[in-house]
Amino acid sequence: MKISELKAVLSSAPEALVRFSLPDGTLSAPHAHITEVGLITKSFIDCGGTVRHSSYCLLQSWVADDIDHRLQAGKLLSIIDKASPLLGEEDLPVELEHQLEYATQFALSSASVSNNEVIVKLSGKQTACLAPEKCCPPQTEQVTVSLSRRR
């Protein structure tokens, strides 16, 4: 999900409460709130030697002891808008850093309004080889051999 998509859903229901749906369907605590909006830029060399760059917007959530706290869509929208000089003009993908047993980072996959809540669905992130043609063994055709007994 890109920043523009998230902002469109948030602006469609500014009074709605924001909840995050973890990949297993569990909803975040209703008193979770966003403590940071950041621009993450990563420059790296993949295993094949290609230099790559990626950027994304990172939201950090926090669940405090303040159980009366509720994050409304309009408030989250204003926090993201305050970060726009930092985020720049590019319509970046958005990820969420969320505390489970340890800090875990999720991609935002979608958001919708339901029953006066904005439900932001999170998806897990996967690692992958970015240069399989350079560093992985070539795929070979599998041959099935049938061993039968002759009598």
Residue 100: band (very low, low, confident or very high) from pLDDT cuts 50, 70, 90:
confident
151, part of any domain: no
| Whole-number pLDDT of residue 18 | 96
- Give yes or no for residue 150 having a pLDDT over 60: no
pTM confidence score: 0.84
> Which DSSP category does 105 fall into?
E
140, part of any domain: no
CB-based contact 118:19 (threshold 8 Å)? yes
112, part of any domain: yes
39, part of any domain: yes
Q: Which residues contact 18 (CB under 8 A, 6 or more apart)?
A: 10, 71, 72, 73, 76, 117, 118, 120
Q: Which helix (H) or strand (E) holds 146?
A: none
143, part of any domain: no
Domain tally, the chain: 1
Q: How many CA atoms lie within 13 A of 151 on its CB side?
A: 0
- Phi and psi for 58 in degrees, rounded to 5? -115, 120
- Give yes or no for residue 33 having a pLDDT over 80: yes
- Give yes or no for residue 151 having a pLDDT over 70: no
Residue 126: band (very low, low, confident or very high) from pLDDT cuts 50, 70, 90:
confident
Q: What 3-state DSSP class applies to 6?
A: helix
* Mean of pLDDT over the chain: 90
- The whole-number average pLDDT for the span 13-35 is 94
